[in-house]
Structure 1
Amino acid sequence: MTNTLVLDVDGTLVDTNYHHAIAWFRAFRRHGLTVPTWKLHRAIGMGGDKLVAEIAGQHVEDEHGDDVRAAWEAEFEPMLDEVRPFEGAHRLITTALEKDFAVVLASSGKRRHVDHYVKLLDVPDVASTSSDDVDESKPAPDLIATALDRVEGGRAVVVGDSVWDCEAARRAGLPCVALRTGGFAEADLLDHGASAVYDELDRLRADLSDLPFGPA
Protein backbone atom coordinates (compact mmCIF):
# COMPACT_ATOMS: atom_id res chain seq x y z
CA MET A 1 0.00 0.00 0.00
CA THR A 2 1.25 3.51 -0.86
CA ASN A 3 3.07 5.43 1.85
CA THR A 4 1.86 9.00 2.43
CA LEU A 5 3.97 12.03 3.27
CA VAL A 6 1.88 14.64 5.10
CA LEU A 7 3.92 17.83 4.87
CA ASP A 8 3.42 20.96 6.92
CA VAL A 9 4.24 24.06 4.85
CA ASP A 10 4.99 27.19 6.92
CA GLY A 11 8.36 26.77 8.60
CA THR A 12 8.82 23.32 7.06
CA LEU A 13 8.93 23.92 3.31
CA VAL A 14 8.91 27.73 3.19
CA ASP A 15 10.78 30.13 5.48
CA THR A 16 7.94 32.08 7.12
CA ASN A 17 7.96 31.54 10.89
CA TYR A 18 9.82 34.72 11.77
CA HIS A 19 7.76 36.74 9.29
CA HIS A 20 4.65 35.45 11.06
CA ALA A 21 6.04 36.33 14.50
CA ILE A 22 6.73 39.92 13.43
CA ALA A 23 3.30 40.22 11.78
CA TRP A 24 1.60 39.01 14.98
CA PHE A 25 3.71 41.40 17.07
CA ARG A 26 2.58 44.32 14.93
CA ALA A 27 -1.02 43.10 14.96
CA PHE A 28 -1.13 43.06 18.76
CA ARG A 29 0.53 46.49 18.88
CA ARG A 30 -2.32 47.89 16.76
CA HIS A 31 -4.53 47.13 19.75
CA GLY A 32 -2.18 48.51 22.37
CA LEU A 33 -0.80 45.12 23.39
CA THR A 34 2.91 44.34 23.50
CA VAL A 35 3.67 40.62 23.32
CA PRO A 36 7.33 39.48 23.39
CA THR A 37 8.31 38.07 20.01
CA TRP A 38 9.88 35.00 21.63
CA LYS A 39 6.45 34.05 22.98
CA LEU A 40 4.91 34.64 19.57
CA HIS A 41 7.54 32.50 17.90
CA ARG A 42 6.80 29.66 20.32
CA ALA A 43 3.14 29.78 19.20
CA ILE A 44 3.82 29.78 15.46
CA GLY A 45 2.48 26.59 13.95
CA MET A 46 -0.65 26.82 16.07
CA GLY A 47 -3.68 27.99 14.12
CA GLY A 48 -4.58 31.67 14.29
CA ASP A 49 -7.95 30.74 15.77
CA LYS A 50 -6.11 29.57 18.90
CA LEU A 51 -3.03 31.81 18.99
CA VAL A 52 -4.55 34.98 20.45
CA ALA A 53 -5.96 33.24 23.52
CA GLU A 54 -2.80 31.14 23.93
CA ILE A 55 -0.56 34.20 23.90
CA ALA A 56 -2.63 36.96 25.45
CA GLY A 57 -5.42 35.21 27.33
CA GLN A 58 -9.07 34.44 26.70
CA HIS A 59 -10.15 37.96 27.66
CA VAL A 60 -8.10 39.38 24.76
CA GLU A 61 -9.51 36.76 22.41
CA ASP A 62 -13.05 37.66 23.49
CA GLU A 63 -12.48 41.40 23.08
CA HIS A 64 -10.04 41.64 20.17
CA GLY A 65 -9.51 38.19 18.63
CA ASP A 66 -11.01 38.74 15.20
CA ASP A 67 -9.53 42.23 14.92
CA VAL A 68 -6.04 40.99 15.83
CA ARG A 69 -6.30 38.23 13.24
CA ALA A 70 -7.39 40.74 10.60
CA ALA A 71 -4.45 42.97 11.57
CA TRP A 72 -2.06 40.00 11.35
CA GLU A 73 -3.28 39.30 7.82
CA ALA A 74 -2.75 42.94 6.84
CA GLU A 75 0.75 42.96 8.36
CA PHE A 76 1.80 39.66 6.80
CA GLU A 77 0.54 40.41 3.30
CA PRO A 78 3.40 42.81 2.34
CA MET A 79 5.92 40.20 3.50
CA LEU A 80 4.59 37.51 1.17
CA ASP A 81 6.93 38.46 -1.65
CA GLU A 82 9.91 38.02 0.70
CA VAL A 83 9.07 34.38 1.43
CA ARG A 84 11.40 31.79 -0.06
CA PRO A 85 11.34 28.00 -0.04
CA PHE A 86 13.90 26.21 2.06
CA GLU A 87 16.78 24.58 0.24
CA GLY A 88 15.73 21.06 -0.73
CA ALA A 89 11.96 21.57 -0.44
CA HIS A 90 11.26 20.97 -4.12
CA ARG A 91 13.68 18.03 -4.17
CA LEU A 92 11.99 16.41 -1.18
CA ILE A 93 8.57 16.50 -2.81
CA THR A 94 9.69 15.39 -6.25
CA THR A 95 11.80 12.55 -4.86
CA ALA A 96 8.87 11.33 -2.76
CA LEU A 97 6.66 11.34 -5.86
CA GLU A 98 9.31 9.51 -7.86
CA LYS A 99 9.32 6.84 -5.15
CA ASP A 100 5.52 6.53 -5.60
CA PHE A 101 4.69 8.11 -2.25
CA ALA A 102 1.41 9.95 -1.93
CA VAL A 103 2.22 13.57 -0.98
CA VAL A 104 -0.12 16.15 0.53
CA LEU A 105 0.59 19.60 1.94
CA ALA A 106 -1.20 19.98 5.27
CA SER A 107 -1.26 23.74 5.74
CA SER A 108 -3.54 25.76 7.99
CA GLY A 109 -2.59 28.94 6.18
CA LYS A 110 -4.89 31.12 4.15
CA ARG A 111 -5.75 29.56 0.78
CA ARG A 112 -4.16 32.37 -1.22
CA HIS A 113 -0.99 32.02 0.85
CA VAL A 114 -0.92 28.27 0.29
CA ASP A 115 -1.43 28.76 -3.46
CA HIS A 116 1.49 31.21 -3.47
CA TYR A 117 3.70 28.69 -1.68
CA VAL A 118 2.74 25.93 -4.10
CA LYS A 119 3.94 28.17 -6.94
CA LEU A 120 7.18 28.89 -5.11
CA LEU A 121 7.73 25.19 -4.54
CA ASP A 122 6.86 24.42 -8.18
CA VAL A 123 4.60 21.49 -7.27
CA PRO A 124 1.28 22.45 -8.94
CA ASP A 125 -0.16 18.94 -8.95
CA VAL A 126 0.32 18.18 -5.26
CA ALA A 127 -2.82 18.17 -3.09
CA SER A 128 -3.01 20.73 -0.29
CA THR A 129 -5.21 22.01 2.51
CA SER A 130 -5.85 25.47 3.94
CA SER A 131 -7.60 27.01 6.92
CA ASP A 132 -10.79 27.05 4.83
CA ASP A 133 -10.96 23.26 5.01
CA VAL A 134 -11.29 22.69 8.77
CA ASP A 135 -13.22 24.02 11.74
CA GLU A 136 -10.34 23.58 14.17
CA SER A 137 -6.64 24.12 13.47
CA LYS A 138 -3.45 22.62 14.91
CA PRO A 139 -2.79 21.19 17.42
CA ALA A 140 -6.17 19.57 16.71
CA PRO A 141 -5.79 16.64 14.27
CA ASP A 142 -8.52 17.84 11.87
CA LEU A 143 -6.10 19.22 9.29
CA ILE A 144 -4.19 15.95 9.07
CA ALA A 145 -7.38 13.96 8.66
CA THR A 146 -8.53 16.31 5.89
CA ALA A 147 -5.13 16.05 4.18
CA LEU A 148 -5.26 12.25 4.24
CA ASP A 149 -8.72 12.34 2.66
CA ARG A 150 -7.21 14.16 -0.34
CA VAL A 151 -4.81 11.40 -1.34
CA GLU A 152 -5.09 7.68 -1.90
CA GLY A 153 -2.42 6.58 0.50
CA GLY A 154 -2.08 3.98 3.18
CA ARG A 155 0.52 4.27 5.89
CA ALA A 156 1.50 7.86 6.67
CA VAL A 157 4.00 10.06 8.47
CA VAL A 158 3.66 13.75 9.36
CA VAL A 159 6.59 16.08 8.66
CA GLY A 160 6.59 19.41 10.48
CA ASP A 161 8.72 22.01 12.21
CA SER A 162 6.83 22.93 15.38
CA VAL A 163 5.70 21.31 18.60
CA TRP A 164 2.14 21.91 17.37
CA ASP A 165 2.77 19.70 14.33
CA CYS A 166 4.05 16.98 16.65
CA GLU A 167 0.98 17.31 18.88
CA ALA A 168 -1.42 17.24 15.93
CA ALA A 169 0.26 14.09 14.62
CA ARG A 170 0.02 12.45 18.05
CA ARG A 171 -3.69 13.23 18.26
CA ALA A 172 -4.14 11.81 14.76
CA GLY A 173 -2.38 8.61 15.84
CA LEU A 174 0.48 9.09 13.40
CA PRO A 175 4.27 9.29 13.79
CA CYS A 176 5.96 12.63 13.20
CA VAL A 177 9.44 13.60 12.10
CA ALA A 178 10.51 17.18 12.57
CA LEU A 179 12.80 19.79 11.09
CA ARG A 180 14.61 22.57 12.92
CA THR A 181 13.84 24.96 10.05
CA GLY A 182 11.08 26.66 12.04
CA GLY A 183 13.38 27.59 14.90
CA PHE A 184 12.19 25.08 17.51
CA ALA A 185 14.83 23.31 19.58
CA GLU A 186 15.54 19.65 18.92
CA ALA A 187 14.83 18.76 22.56
CA ASP A 188 11.41 20.44 22.45
CA LEU A 189 10.45 18.61 19.26
CA LEU A 190 11.53 15.26 20.69
CA ASP A 191 9.72 15.96 23.97
CA HIS A 192 6.52 16.58 22.00
CA GLY A 193 6.72 13.29 20.15
CA ALA A 194 8.98 13.69 17.13
CA SER A 195 10.66 10.38 16.39
CA ALA A 196 13.58 12.12 14.68
CA VAL A 197 14.72 15.69 14.07
CA TYR A 198 16.55 16.89 10.97
CA ASP A 199 18.52 20.07 10.34
CA GLU A 200 18.00 20.02 6.58
CA LEU A 201 15.38 18.84 4.12
CA ASP A 202 17.96 17.05 2.01
CA ARG A 203 18.97 14.93 4.99
CA LEU A 204 15.36 13.95 5.52
CA ARG A 205 15.03 13.23 1.80
CA ALA A 206 17.92 10.77 2.03
CA ASP A 207 16.01 8.85 4.72
CA LEU A 208 12.61 8.84 3.01
CA SER A 209 12.32 5.07 2.73
CA ASP A 210 13.24 4.62 6.41
CA LEU A 211 10.73 7.05 7.91
CA PRO A 212 8.36 5.65 10.58
CA PHE A 213 5.13 5.32 8.62
CA GLY A 214 2.06 4.41 10.66
CA PRO A 215 -1.49 3.36 9.78
CA ALA A 216 -3.50 6.29 8.44
Structure 2
Amino acid sequence: MRIEPAFLFDLDGTLVDSVYQHVLAWKTALDAESIELSVWRIHRKIGMSGGLFTNQLLRETEVEIDPERIERLRRAHAEAYQRYASGIRPLPGARKLLAWFTEAAIPWAIATGGRMETAAVNLAALDVELTKIPVITRDHVRYAKPDPDLFLAAAERLDAPIEGAVVIGDSI
Protein backbone atom coordinates (compact mmCIF):
# COMPACT_ATOMS: atom_id res chain seq x y z
CA MET A 1 0.00 0.00 0.00
CA ARG A 2 1.35 3.39 -0.99
CA ILE A 3 0.80 6.27 1.41
CA GLU A 4 0.22 9.67 -0.23
CA PRO A 5 2.16 12.39 1.55
CA ALA A 6 0.55 15.21 3.49
CA PHE A 7 2.55 18.30 4.33
CA LEU A 8 2.40 19.84 7.79
CA PHE A 9 3.90 23.31 8.06
CA ASP A 10 5.06 25.17 11.12
CA LEU A 11 4.19 28.85 10.88
CA ASP A 12 6.56 31.27 12.65
CA GLY A 13 9.97 31.29 10.99
CA THR A 14 8.87 28.70 8.42
CA LEU A 15 6.15 30.44 6.40
CA VAL A 16 6.28 33.94 7.90
CA ASP A 17 9.08 36.19 9.05
CA SER A 18 7.83 36.75 12.60
CA VAL A 19 10.58 35.53 14.89
CA TYR A 20 11.86 38.97 15.84
CA GLN A 21 8.34 40.26 16.46
CA HIS A 22 7.92 37.40 18.95
CA VAL A 23 11.25 38.24 20.59
CA LEU A 24 10.28 41.89 20.98
CA ALA A 25 6.80 40.99 22.22
CA TRP A 26 8.24 38.64 24.87
CA LYS A 27 10.74 41.34 25.87
CA THR A 28 7.88 43.82 26.30
CA ALA A 29 5.87 41.31 28.36
CA LEU A 30 8.83 40.42 30.57
CA ASP A 31 9.71 44.08 31.12
CA ALA A 32 6.11 44.73 32.21
CA GLU A 33 6.63 42.09 34.92
CA SER A 34 10.00 43.63 35.90
CA ILE A 35 11.82 40.52 34.72
CA GLU A 36 15.16 41.57 33.28
CA LEU A 37 16.30 39.30 30.50
CA SER A 38 18.63 39.85 27.55
CA VAL A 39 17.09 39.74 24.11
CA TRP A 40 19.51 37.00 23.02
CA ARG A 41 18.27 34.73 25.82
CA ILE A 42 14.71 35.23 24.64
CA HIS A 43 15.65 34.65 21.00
CA ARG A 44 17.25 31.26 21.60
CA LYS A 45 13.94 29.95 22.97
CA ILE A 46 11.68 31.14 20.17
CA GLY A 47 9.94 28.15 18.59
CA MET A 48 8.86 26.62 21.89
CA SER A 49 5.24 26.82 22.92
CA GLY A 50 4.46 29.91 24.99
CA GLY A 51 3.93 27.91 28.17
CA LEU A 52 7.16 25.94 27.88
CA PHE A 53 8.98 29.12 26.86
CA THR A 54 7.68 31.02 29.89
CA ASN A 55 8.44 28.19 32.32
CA GLN A 56 12.01 27.85 31.08
CA LEU A 57 12.70 31.58 31.13
CA LEU A 58 11.29 32.00 34.62
CA ARG A 59 13.26 28.97 35.84
CA GLU A 60 16.47 30.41 34.36
CA THR A 61 15.91 33.75 36.04
CA GLU A 62 14.81 32.16 39.32
CA VAL A 63 11.70 34.34 39.31
CA GLU A 64 8.68 32.97 41.14
CA ILE A 65 6.54 30.86 38.81
CA ASP A 66 2.81 30.89 39.39
CA PRO A 67 -0.13 30.40 37.02
CA GLU A 68 -1.28 34.02 37.31
CA ARG A 69 2.11 35.40 36.29
CA ILE A 70 2.31 32.98 33.37
CA GLU A 71 -1.15 34.06 32.20
CA ARG A 72 -0.24 37.76 32.53
CA LEU A 73 2.91 37.16 30.48
CA ARG A 74 0.97 35.25 27.82
CA ARG A 75 -1.62 38.03 27.50
CA ALA A 76 1.03 40.77 27.50
CA HIS A 77 2.97 38.92 24.81
CA ALA A 78 -0.14 38.56 22.63
CA GLU A 79 -0.97 42.27 23.02
CA ALA A 80 2.58 43.35 22.21
CA TYR A 81 2.72 40.95 19.25
CA GLN A 82 -0.38 42.62 17.80
CA ARG A 83 1.42 45.97 18.00
CA TYR A 84 4.39 44.56 16.05
CA ALA A 85 2.14 42.85 13.48
CA SER A 86 2.67 45.44 10.75
CA GLY A 87 6.24 44.17 10.31
CA ILE A 88 5.25 40.55 9.70
CA ARG A 89 5.71 39.32 6.14
CA PRO A 90 5.48 35.94 4.44
CA LEU A 91 8.89 34.47 3.76
CA PRO A 92 9.88 34.59 0.08
CA GLY A 93 7.91 32.04 -1.93
CA ALA A 94 5.67 30.95 0.95
CA ARG A 95 2.37 32.07 -0.62
CA LYS A 96 3.36 30.66 -3.99
CA LEU A 97 4.33 27.31 -2.42
CA LEU A 98 1.05 26.98 -0.54
CA ALA A 99 -0.92 27.95 -3.65
CA TRP A 100 0.95 25.28 -5.61
CA PHE A 101 0.11 22.60 -3.02
CA THR A 102 -3.54 23.64 -3.16
CA GLU A 103 -3.67 23.66 -6.99
CA ALA A 104 -1.94 20.26 -7.12
CA ALA A 105 -4.51 18.88 -4.61
CA ILE A 106 -1.72 17.85 -2.25
CA PRO A 107 -3.05 17.92 1.31
CA TRP A 108 -1.42 20.41 3.63
CA ALA A 109 -2.09 21.97 6.99
CA ILE A 110 -0.50 24.41 9.40
CA ALA A 111 0.50 23.25 12.89
CA THR A 112 1.81 26.03 15.11
CA GLY A 113 2.79 26.12 18.75
CA GLY A 114 1.33 29.61 18.95
CA ARG A 115 -2.22 30.34 20.02
CA MET A 116 -4.76 31.62 17.51
CA GLU A 117 -4.56 35.11 19.04
CA THR A 118 -1.07 35.48 17.58
CA ALA A 119 -1.28 32.96 14.72
CA ALA A 120 -4.19 34.89 13.15
CA VAL A 121 -1.82 37.76 12.31
CA ASN A 122 0.52 35.39 10.50
CA LEU A 123 -2.28 33.56 8.70
CA ALA A 124 -3.64 36.89 7.44
CA ALA A 125 -0.18 37.78 6.09
CA LEU A 126 -0.24 34.50 4.14
CA ASP A 127 -3.85 34.93 2.97
CA VAL A 128 -4.70 31.49 4.40
CA GLU A 129 -8.44 30.82 4.33
CA LEU A 130 -9.31 29.23 7.66
CA THR A 131 -12.44 27.67 6.18
CA LYS A 132 -10.40 25.75 3.59
CA ILE A 133 -7.09 24.90 5.27
CA PRO A 134 -6.71 23.05 8.58
CA VAL A 135 -4.85 25.13 11.14
CA ILE A 136 -3.92 23.51 14.43
CA THR A 137 -2.75 25.84 17.17
CA ARG A 138 -1.71 25.43 20.79
CA ASP A 139 -5.40 26.00 21.61
CA HIS A 140 -6.29 22.62 20.04
CA VAL A 141 -3.87 20.27 21.78
CA ARG A 142 -2.83 19.39 25.29
CA TYR A 143 0.91 19.66 24.61
CA ALA A 144 2.76 21.74 22.04
CA LYS A 145 6.26 21.31 20.64
CA PRO A 146 8.46 19.50 21.26
CA ASP A 147 5.64 16.97 21.76
CA PRO A 148 4.15 15.73 18.47
CA ASP A 149 0.52 16.52 19.36
CA LEU A 150 0.23 19.47 16.94
CA PHE A 151 1.39 17.39 14.00
CA LEU A 152 -0.69 14.35 14.95
CA ALA A 153 -3.79 16.56 15.16
CA ALA A 154 -3.01 18.22 11.82
CA ALA A 155 -2.61 14.86 10.07
CA GLU A 156 -5.85 13.69 11.64
CA ARG A 157 -7.68 16.81 10.40
CA LEU A 158 -6.40 16.02 6.91
CA ASP A 159 -7.51 12.41 7.36
CA ALA A 160 -3.95 11.45 6.47
CA PRO A 161 -1.79 8.84 8.17
CA ILE A 162 0.98 10.45 10.17
CA GLU A 163 3.41 7.88 8.74
CA GLY A 164 3.12 9.61 5.37
CA ALA A 165 3.28 13.15 6.64
CA VAL A 166 6.19 15.47 5.98
CA VAL A 167 6.74 18.07 8.71
CA ILE A 168 8.36 21.29 7.59
CA GLY A 169 9.63 23.64 10.27
CA ASP A 170 12.53 25.74 11.39
CA SER A 171 13.36 24.12 14.72
CA ILE A 172 14.66 20.74 15.81
- Normalised by the size of structure 1, how large is the TM-score? 0.69
For 1:38, the equivalent position in structure 2 comes to 40
- 1:107 alignment partner AA: T
In 1, are the aligned partners of 2:82 and 2:121 still within 8 Å (CA)?
Answer: no
Between the aligned partners of 1:112 and 1:75, the Cα distance in structure 2 is 11
State the match for 2:105 in structure 1. Answer: 100
Letter in 2 for 1:117: N
Contact 1:5/1:158 (8 A) holds in 2: yes
| 2:78–2:117 contact (8 Å) kept in structure 1 | no
Q: Kindly tell me: are residues 52 and 60 of structure 1, through their superposed partners in 2, closer, same or farther at Cα, counting changes over 3 Å?
A: farther
Contact kept, 8 Å, 1:4 with 1:156, in 2: the verdict is yes
Instruction: Work out whether residues 44 and 162 of structure 1, in 8 Å CA contact, stay in contact via their aligned partners in 2.
Output: no
The aligned counterpart of 1:60 is 64
- How far apart are the structure 1 equivalents of 2:52 and 2:8? 22
Paired letter, 2:152: A
Match of 1:11 in 2: 13
TM-score (norm 2): 0.85
1:141 aligns with 2:143: no
Q: Is the 8 A contact 1:105 1:128 kept in 2?
A: yes
| Root-mean-square deviation over aligned CA pairs | 1.8
Change (3 A) 1:26 1:123: closer
Separation in 2, partners of 1:16, 1:62:
28
Match of 1:157 among 160, 166, 172: 166
Could you tell me whether the CA contact under 8 Å between 1:106 and 1:130 is conserved in 2? yes
Gaps of 5+ in 1: 164-216
Identity of aligned residues (%): 29
Equivalence map 1:15-26=2 (5 Å): 15-26=17-28
Structure 1: how far apart are the matches of 2:157 and 2:119?
15
Listed as ranges, the matches of 1:1-216 within 5 Å are 1-57=3-59, 59-62=63-66, 64-124=69-129, 125-154=132-161, 155-163=164-172
Partner of 1:194: none
The AA in structure 2 aligned to 1:88 is G
